[in-house]
Amino acid sequence: MTPFVGRGREIARLRAGLVAGENFVVSGVFGIGRTSLVRAVAASMADHHRFIVLDLQGTPLSVARELHEALFRGEVTVRSFRSLRYRIATRALTDRRNHVVVLDNVSRLTAPKLDFIRRLVEARRYRVVAIVEAFLGGKELLHLRSALRCGPPIRLGPLSVADSERFLEASARALGLAWRSAEVHGLAVASHGFPLGMRELVDRSLARDAAASPGSFERPYRPRRT
């Protein structure tokens, strides 16, 4: 598992806002770490907040079914979208934590999807975080913010070189990679601050080590003790 570094201001904003009952839009280009940011926040708030991550690429019915199953941990016996929406809005929740519904991969918003989001918000029992693609149009983004009743998006840019170095150093320690400081710095600059690019660099190093030492990666990996 790769570490999560940086984004202190964004993490603080999300945590404080969710505690206060706010909804959010998180925006950025592919590979910049939007979903990882939300998952890091979820891990840090797990004692009092339950995060449910849904892929909004599916149909509204499939998303509603997935949410219903996650909330109530049972087979969905109703089939209509309208009935599912009603149950999600009114059925008693057994988990006493605050519920945060994370809508991932928001790239195209249809009227039924917007209506589903609006009803989640109107139920007043869920916080909602929408993770949107950077290319989402201005009008669609405006409609989404209106449905969520939220402020401007939290827009993620590339990590700083210092944070990129921290990410790579932590990955190297966890995986036993013998990287020198100069090499870490060069890789941090080459990644341009994109977490996905840094993960790919780590994977390539692991693959090179495996090729150089056949059989050394046959057993499940266990981090070295320090």
Section 20-35 average pLDDT: 94
Distance of CA 132 to the CA centre of its chain: 10
Cβ-in-10-Å burial (0-12, 13-18, 19+) of 47 comes to exposed
Section 44-48 average pLDDT: 96
Cβ-in-10-Å burial (0-12, 13-18, 19+) of 77 comes to exposed
Cα–Cα distance, 119 to 124 (Å, whole number): 9
Cα–Cα distance, 21 to 26 (Å, whole number): 16
Give me the count of residues in the chain.
226
Encoded tokens for 203: 């994977």
Q: Could you tell me the CATH superfamily of domain 8-155?
A: P-loop containing nucleotide triphosphate hydrolases (3.40.50.300)
- Give the pTM: 0.86
| pLDDT tens-digit readout, 62-87 | 999 999 999 988 666 777 888 899 99
CA distances from 148 to 4, 17, 121 (A): 27, 13, 6
Cα–Cα distance, 106 to 157 (Å, whole number): 18
Cα–Cα distance, 159 to 200 (Å, whole number): 16
| pLDDT tens-digit readout, 162-191 | 999 999 999 888 888 888 999 999 999 999
Encoded tokens for 153: 């998006």
- Look-up of token digits 């990590």: 159
For the beta sheet containing 154-155, the strands, ordered from the edge strand earlier in sequence to the opposite edge, are 49-55, 98-106, 126-133, 24-28, 154-155
Cα–Cα distance, 44 to 4 (Å, whole number): 12
| pLDDT tens-digit readout, 119-161 | 999 999 999 999 998 888 789 999 999 999 999 999 999 999 9
Backbone dihedral angles phi then psi of residue 23, each to the nearest 5 degrees: -110, 160
